[in-house]
Amino acid sequence: MQAARIVRQSLRLFGVLALMAAPAAAVTVTGLYSVEVPVAGSQPQELEQGYADGLSRVFVRVSGTRDVLRNEGVEELLANAESLLQSYQFLRSDTGNHRLRMSFGAVGVNRALASADAPVWGANRPLTLAWIAVEEGGRRTLVHQGSDSTGTGADEQWRRVFQDAAVDRGLPVGLPPARYRDDRELLSDIWGQFTSSVRRSSEDMEHDLMSLVRVSRSGSQWRAGWVFDGMGLDSTEQSVTADTPQALAAAVVGRWAEMFADRYAVAGSDVGESPQVDIVVHGVSNLKDYARVNGVLKNLSPVVDAGATRARKDQLTLRVAFSGEMEQLKQYIALDPRLVPLSDAEVSRMPTGDERQPGGQAQAQSVQQAPQGGIALAEQSTESAAASANPLFVYQPLLANEEESEQAFESLYQVLHYRWQPASIVESEDGE
């Protein structure tokens, strides 16, 4: 696999995680292979269309470009989308706005893209801190985190459409906190694209680069122009136009995603037969524990090879080559009670490689998983379930320092985190 260029990464996605008081920290994106699409109903042919629609979105997200849908062989892959499906839920709506929530196998999707000679963009992606100023009706507003009683309808609309666009393309995008919304001088700096001035306001916010975006009406269309600051990117203004705010946000974030995919995605020919995943085991304090952890993983049936790549204090990172799908590997690991999976919230609270302490909480995944990796059908009748925003999409701190990020970018798959629980503790708990 070709070496990816080093970047410092971090995350803040519109209220999923809190912004942290440090410049950057690498992250892993999970949920890249999960998606939710509208469907006409639950009949077999309607579900088959939903599978294809969902897989096409995942292909775009994982390859980084919509051009992938024109590659030779992709149409056939979409026609057989069910073969890559791991789980799904049919979300029934009394108003007829049914939705299908799906998770596809990461290994299968990556291999499918490789078979169509498409690029594959891994799970580690940079955060863009977006300073977005919108001018409408002679008034300028700042698009900021969350929503509250003082926010206007326009503020909420633009926040929502950029959030949806970011999740659709699998690109971490952060917004400044609400405390900046009344800073008229800052708004003028954003509109004038004075990066040095805005950079000072960004010093305490997690980001790898920032973008200053100005949105306005251009005749009957919306126009967005932006400049980048950071990661050695071209600082000249780029722009797009669209008929609606939704289409404009999709065009902006789509251009950003394609730019990063060009930079970091690997060629299909570099997607190996044995996928590799980094597993971070916390609480490994001595050589005996290290040997035991290594032995546990190497003895699992799906594991082809396992070896430590770094050790720091009580964290041991191993690169594991495995066969089958990621979920099958997790199921085998779960059979050993000494390896306890960490929740997204627990990972968020872990110190990163340079001892920064991330805060905030992440959303939990909600997918019905069938036994032995099969497919399950579940129905929900609540309107809120169908309308919930991106319940499958989660970002986690990668817990790597700047030097180690380069190695992490070579991995196509999410980083798994476990806590090592020695046998004596397990036996004590069992005895109770």
Sheet with 315-322, side-by-side order of all strands: 303-312, 315-322, 276-282, 416-420, 339-341
C-alpha closest to that of 256 among 190, 165, 187: 165
pLDDT band at 248 (very low <50, low <70, confident <90, very high): very high
C-beta of residue 143 within 8 angstroms of C-beta of residue 181: no
Q: CA-CA distances (angstroms) from residue 404 to 73, 272, 317, 400? A: 37, 22, 11, 6
Q: For residue 401, what pLDDT is reported?
A: 57
Mean pLDDT of 212-229: 95
C-beta of residue 63 within 8 angstroms of C-beta of residue 113: yes
pLDDT at 9 over 70: no
Instruction: Please indicate whether residue 3 or residue 389 has the higher confidence score (pLDDT).
Output: 389
Mean pLDDT of 350-368: 38
User: What's the half-sphere exposure (Cβ side, CA atoms, 13 Å) at 244?
Assistant: 6
Q: For residue 26, what pLDDT is reported?
A: 52
Partners of 28 in the beta sheet?
396
pLDDT at 417 over 50: yes
Q: For residue 374, what pLDDT is reported?
A: 33
For 149, list phi and psi in degrees, rounded to 5. Answer: -65, -20
Q: For residue 309, what pLDDT is reported?
A: 87
pLDDT at 45 over 80: yes
pLDDT at 391 over 70: no
Q: For residue 132, what pLDDT is reported?
A: 97
- Give the SS3 label for residue 164: helix
Cα gap 124→354, rounded to integer Å: 18
11-25, 110-124, 190-204, 305-319: lowest mean pLDDT where? 11-25
**How many Å separate Cα 260 from the centre of its chain?**
14
Cα gap 96→76, rounded to integer Å: 29
Q: For residue 174, what pLDDT is reported?
A: 87
- Within 10 A of 103 (CB to CB), how many other CB atoms are there? 24
pLDDT digits (tens, 9 = 90+) for 301-353: 999 999 998 888 889 999 999 999 999 999 999 999 999 999 877 876 766 54
C-alpha closest to that of 84 among 269, 315, 291, 327: 327
Give the relative orientation of helices 153-169 and 245-264 as an angle to the nearest 10 degrees.
30
> Going by DSSP bridges, is the β-strand pair 221-229/173-174 parallel, antiparallel, or unpaired?
unpaired
Read off the pTM: 0.79
Instruction: Please indicate whether residue 371 or residue 347 has the higher confidence score (pLDDT).
Output: 347
Q: Which uninterrupted H or E stretch holds 139?
A: strand 139-143
To which residue do tokens 């690109």 refer?
171
Mean pLDDT of 146-163: 75
pLDDT at 165 over 60: yes
pLDDT at 212 over 90: yes
Instruction: Please indicate whether residue 203 or residue 50 has the higher confidence score (pLDDT).
Output: 50
Instruction: Please indicate whether residue 16 or residue 337 has the higher confidence score (pLDDT).
Output: 337
Q: For residue 234, what pLDDT is reported?
A: 87
Average pLDDT over all residues of the chain: 80
Query: Which DSSP string do the residues of 340-357 spell out, in sequence order?
Result: EEPPHHHHHHS--TT---
Instruction: Please indicate whether residue 383 or residue 159 has the higher confidence score (pLDDT).
Output: 159
352 contact partners, CB below 8 Å, separation of at least 6 = 25, 26, 358, 397, 398, 399, 400, 401
pLDDT digits (tens, 9 = 90+) for 418-427: 999 986 554 4
pLDDT at 431 over 90: no
% of the chain beyond a pLDDT of 90? 57
> Going by DSSP bridges, is the β-strand pair 416-420/34-38 parallel, antiparallel, or unpaired?
unpaired
Cα gap 21→7, rounded to integer Å: 19
12-21, 217-226, 234-243, 286-295: lowest mean pLDDT where? 12-21
